[in-house]
Amino acid sequence: MARVVLIGNLAQLTGGVAEFTISAASVKQLFDRLTELHPEIGPHLQEGVAVAIDGQIYQDTLLQPIEPDSEVFILPQIAGG
Amino acid sequence: MAKHHIETVVNGDAVEFLCETEETLLDVLRDTLNLTGSKEGCASGDCGACSVTLDGRLVCSCLVLGCEVAGRRIETIEGLAKGEKLHPLQQKFLEHAALQCGICTPGFLVASKALLERSPDPSEHEIRFWLAGNLCRCTGYDKIVSAVKDAAATLRKG
Amino acid sequence: MAENGTNGTNGQGYVGTRTIRPDGVDKVTGRARFGADFNLPGQLIGKVLRSPHAHARIVSIDTSKAEALPGVKAVITRDDFADQSSEFIPAGEMMMNYKDVVRNVMAREKALYEGHAVAAVAATSTVIARRALKLIDVKYEVLPHVIDVVEAMKPGAPLLHDDLFTAGVEPKPDKPSNIAKRIEINLGDIEAGFKKADVVVEREFKTAPVHQGYIEPHAALASVSEDGSAELWCCTQGHFIVRAHCARLLGLDIAKIRVTASEIGGGFGGKTVVYLEPLALALSKKAKRPVKMVMSREEVFKASGPTSGATVKVKMGATKDGKFVAGFAELKYQAGAFQGSPVQPGVFCAYAPYDMENVKVIGYDVVSNRPKVAAYRAPGAPISEFAVESVVDEIAKKLGIDGIQLRMMNAAREGTKAAYGPKFGPLGLEETLNSIKKTEHWNTPLRKWQGRGVASGFWFNIGGETCASLTINEDGTVSLMAGTPDIGGLRAALTNVAADELGIPYDKVRPIIGDTGSLGFTFLTGGSRSAFSGSMAIVEAAKQIRTELCSRACKLWEAKPDQVEFKDGAVRPLGALAEKVKPMTIADFAKVAGKTGGPIGGYGRINAQGAGPSLGTHLVDLEVDPETGRVTILRYTVAQDAGKALHPAYVEGQFQGGAVQGIGWALNEEYIYGDDGKLQNAGFLDYRMPVASDVPMIDAILVEVANPKHPYGVRGVGETPIVPPLGAIANAMEQATGIRFTELPMSPPKVLKALKEKAANGKS
């Protein structure tokens, strides 16, 4: 079960719950499970989030694997100038 | 009002063109003579990207009118290299990576050449103040100064 | 088959060397074509009519007289752009809303800043175009305006959007506001943290809007055909992004627009969005002729996004031994006319260089009547990190610990948990601090009115979708095509990589930046990603080529895969096979390519992940002239972690260029608004950027702490250099004058005023 933490304003879409323990083998599965729990967060996961899995930040990677004991952070997306 | 008919010499070639009264030399070079090497960064003489020499004198071509150059001698960036041989300034700019985006480079090269013609062994201080009329936003000027110094040394060797 | 690794083991070792950039000759001869250097036969000149008011309702627009002027071939207004529904898209740095994009490109209900585009014309000459603008009759209902972020946040401030409700606050507000969003990050327990502190410093800071200052104004040339397909030439950091925006705004299939990125004369984030491009396309569509549009310098300042001005509060606590135990910050950033300031990265980066247990940062995104903010090199981070680095310096002085020592004690390293969540991988902050400590610069004594300042800085860096191809030509030379516009030496870096990956001489590889029709979607050049991601895509493409060549060799030699290997530019037979056949070079294969299956090439199409942050530390010595308030930068050293410098000279160039932009931001650059909401210094004379005589040589120390996620260890480097200068210079000013400057820029009038006040206070 991966430990998942929502950073920034994302927790406002889950009624204030920022930490989850979720069974998910990929980013896509994680997003699907989170959306099942809190439908409001669904569209926000589609666009504009980055996912840090065990310290490595991934952006736009639905197929990225998540290990059973991963620590996952969902953050707003980062770009640059 | 009818356009002015101007005959002049650009990079050693006799040229003639028509221009409106309010057209600057920069407009003429770029739009009429298709010499787009000189750039417009500000049209107010503050950035030096349009630098050319007029009768050997360094000027901002955006501050010169097209109809002012009749019978005069203009040198632009396009005239710096001689055939396939790059001017030492051009060569040193490349070797020292003295350009990043390159938009200011023509202006800097023309201005640097004008400096070295007057002062073949300039100090860093002299280089910086002579080139203070040329804005660069990418390089922080460090490698430009190194390139000019190195080109000066090469030119002095002959 | 034995496959060579991707760490340059193939080749002569160009990676890490100072090769001459392949696009260099054209740039030093004036041959290279930038945005305004391209012309098409029959082209028209396009010009934009811009609002003279900072805030006004657009009651009516009458273009009839302009349309009737001989020589005018098309006029467009808001009626020529379909309205867009509210939908957020990643755009440059921030998330942008297409509803806002269409309104920024051409005002609809309101003009929201002086310079806001209200109409545009295409005519047979510049003179006629300008005359036509004067004939467009716009009726405005002028409204009160607001510019300053604190003023814009006050209840009762003039409202820009009556459908903007502050996001991120509970309960959801029912009244519109200029505060678009409130965000917050929390780590640990900030109150408990402050209780542990022996020293607490609290300060409020203010920064002014500054422009990216690229020397090349925006330029675009559009040509639309009768079937609706279009060609667009423009200077941009992201031609695929331009294509996406224009397709959306004009209602076209993406495949129907082909965008070519010209050489670009600077961007720094400011050319990651569209301004002229949709206008040129719309005009060309109407006029049925190509339309060329170029901004004047005044338009660049008034109508293209500078970065935010901001008000920042920082409160930090440390133990007497120097351990940071609590970090609080509240950031209020201007977004300009539409929401989307870089307050988010500002929030994330504020304390990022440090290992802290207790952090709380709050950010506000606030609209005001000035141009919509665009990304500017490490967007948001210079402002928040300026504030934090200033307070760190005060803590250092209060505790009697030097600035490098204090930062070293608290430096984030591998395994440190960032305030925004994840743990860091390998980081080079300590290495940069050590490098600075060892310099002669750090150990040189100073005189009166001189000061020395140090500051560190952080930026995340990104990867992203990137395409690049390598094609073997019939004579064995290689054509390289990349999808990321080259804003400062990228082609040299990629050519180094390609030459090493294929084991061929550097000058046998010719790189170009492909247009949008030639490659798959490639995200823009920004986020310090083009060398990082581009080289990854080239590595992938080269791997495909090596695999293909080995496969063909096996077929030609009737050999098994483990009997051949690719090494040093050739497929080589191994073992007993080596007595029967000779190695085949890339050129040998090229000669028989057609006969052995067809042209040989590789195409890297990736979504590059694994970007590693780049940390930097800057050291500056300056001298203040107490009579004029003028600050002279005496000496400047940058140490920054590049992971691996594919081309050291261009990496150094990023360090030096970013540092000088930071110097300008710290000492002189600012947008000056009149009470009428109009920009008073919309030109290079009064928007004073550093010139060569303002700065010394910038010593660049290349630190390389490899990024394990990149085949060469590369970290993006472009943005971090602008982050430390603001704090470093403010810290040096404090040492030189005894005054803690909290407002940027520290321009001569401000410095003089502060010196006089200090003297007056001293006397009383």
Structure tokens belonging to residue B151: 């080109």
Q: Find, in chain B, the residue whose alpha carbon is nearest to that of C718.
A: B138
A abuts B (3+ Cβ pairs < 8 Å): no
Q: Evaluate whether C461 touches C590 at the Cβ level (below 8 Å).
A: no
Is the CATH number 3.90.180.10 carried by domain C35-144+227-294?
no
Label residue C556 exposed, middle or buried (CB < 10 Å: 0-12, 13-18, 19+). middle
Distance from CA of C364 to the nearest CA of A (A): 12
Q: What ipTM was assigned to the predicted interfaces of this complex?
A: 0.98
Segments forming the whole domain that contains residue A35: 2-76
* Touching B: C residues 289-318, CB under 8 Å: 294, 296-297
pLDDT under 70 in chain B at which residues?
none
Q: Evaluate whether B116 touches B55 at the Cβ level (below 8 Å).
A: no
Of B140, A18, B112, residue with least CA distance to C725: B140
Subunit contact C216:B138, Cβ cutoff 8 A: no
d(CA C239, CA C264): 11
Average pLDDT over residues C715-726: 97
Q: How far is CA A52 from CA A29, A31, C346, C423, C428, in A?
A: 15, 13, 19, 9, 20
Q: Which residues of A touch C612 (CB under 8 A)?
A: none
Distance from CA of A11 to the nearest CA of C (A): 10
Best to test chain A binding among C241, C362, C413, C607 (most A CBs inside 10 Å): C607
* Touching B: C residues 265-294, CB under 8 Å: 265-268, 294
Residues of chain C with CATH 3.30.365.10: 24-32+463-608, 425-460+613-764
Distance from CA of C653 to the nearest CA of B (A): 6
Q: Which residues pair with C131 in a beta bridge?
A: none
d(CA B36, CA C26): 12
Tell me the Cα Rg of chain A: 11
The beta-carbon neighbor of B100 closest among C653, C659, C690 is: C653
Q: Which residues of C touch A8 (CB under 8 A)?
A: 183-185, 344, 347, 420
pLDDT band at A43 (very low <50, low <70, confident <90, very high): confident
Each residue's pLDDT tens digit, C75-122: 999 999 999 988 776 554 456 789 999 999 999 999 999 999 999 999
Of C528, C671, C487, residue with least CA distance to C612: C528
Do the domain assignments include residue A22? yes
d(CA C751, CA C139): 44
d(CA C434, CA C637): 13
pLDDT for residue C95: 64
Q: Evaluate whether C379 touches A80 at the Cβ level (below 8 Å).
A: yes
The beta-carbon neighbor of C683 closest among B42, B100, B101 is: B42
Percent of chain C predicted with pLDDT > 90: 95
Do the domain assignments include residue A37? yes
Q: Which residues does C156 contact at the CB level (< 8 Å), separation at least 6?
A: none
Each residue's pLDDT tens digit, C586-613: 999 999 999 999 999 999 999 999 999 9
d(CA C547, CA C337): 53
Each residue's pLDDT tens digit, B25-55: 999 999 999 999 999 999 999 999 999 999 9
Do the domain assignments include residue A81? no
Of C329, C375, C335, residue with least CA distance to C153: C335
Q: Which residues does C759 contact at the CB level (< 8 Å), separation at least 6?
A: none
* Residue C311 clears pLDDT 90, i.e. is over it: yes
Least confident of A62-76, C264-278, C384-398, C692-706: A62-76
Q: Which residues of C touch A75 (CB under 8 A)?
A: 348, 420-422
Percent of chain C predicted with pLDDT > 70: 97
pLDDT for residue C89: 67
Each residue's pLDDT tens digit, C181-209: 999 999 999 999 999 999 999 999 999 99
Average pLDDT over residues C551-562: 96
Q: Which residues of B touch C214 (CB under 8 A)?
A: 101, 103, 137
Average pLDDT over residues C479-496: 97
Per the document, the length of chain A is 81
H/E stretch holding C636 reads strand C631-641
Q: Evaluate whether C371 touches C425 at the Cβ level (below 8 Å).
A: no
Subunit contact B142:C32, Cβ cutoff 8 A: no
Do the domain assignments include residue A31? yes
In order of their start, the domains of chain B are: 4-79 (3.10.20.30), 88-157 (1.10.150.120)
Is the CATH number 3.30.365.10 carried by domain C425-460+613-764?
yes
* Touching C: B residues 116-145, CB under 8 Å: 124, 127-129, 131-145
pLDDT for residue C94: 54
Cβ–Cβ pairs < 8 A, chains B and C: 181
Q: How far is CA C171 from CA B12, C174, C344, in A?
A: 75, 9, 21
We report the CATH number of the domain holding residue A49 as 3.10.20.30
What's the DSSP call for residue C483?
A: S
Each residue's pLDDT tens digit, C279-306: 999 999 999 999 999 999 999 999 998 9
* Residue C177 clears pLDDT 50, i.e. is over it: yes
The number of domains in chain A is 1
Angle at C376 between CA C116 and CA C466, to 5 degrees: 105
What is the end-to-end Cα distance of chain C in Å, rounded? 84
pLDDT band at C10 (very low <50, low <70, confident <90, very high): very low
Q: How far is CA C361 from CA B46, C166, C251, C331, C438, in A?
A: 41, 18, 41, 8, 34
* Residue C9 clears pLDDT 70, i.e. is over it: no
Residues of chain C with CATH 3.90.1170.50: 35-144+227-294
Q: Which residues pair with C621 in a beta bridge?
A: C452, C635
* Residue C154 clears pLDDT 80, i.e. is over it: yes
Annotate B91-145 with DSSP letters as a single string: HHHHHTT--SS-SSHHHHHHHHHHHHHH-SS--HHHHHHHGGGS--SSSTTHHHH
pLDDT for residue C85: 87
Interior/surface letters C186-222, b for 16+ CB within 10 angstroms, e for the rest: bbbebeebbeebeebbebebbbbbbbbbbbbbbbbbb
* B32 reaches C (C-beta below 8 A): no
Q: Evaluate whether C435 touches C490 at the Cβ level (below 8 Å).
A: no
Q: How far is CA C667 from CA A71, B80, C631, C695, in A?
A: 43, 36, 8, 12
- Name residue, tokens 């720094």: C268
Cβ–Cβ pairs < 8 A, chains A and C: 112
Neighbours of B, requiring at least 3 CB pairs below 8 Å, are C
pLDDT for residue C90: 59
pLDDT for residue C11: 47
Subunit contact C692:B132, Cβ cutoff 8 A: yes
d(CA A17, CA C706): 37
Q: Which residues of C touch A55 (CB under 8 A)?
A: 422-425
Subunit contact C93:A81, Cβ cutoff 8 A: yes
Sign of the alpha-carbon torsion through C79, C82, C84, C90: negative
d(CA B85, CA C118): 50
* Residue C4 clears pLDDT 50, i.e. is over it: no
* Residue A38 clears pLDDT 50, i.e. is over it: yes
- Name residue, tokens 């000066």: B152
Region C24-32+463-608: CATH code: 3.30.365.10
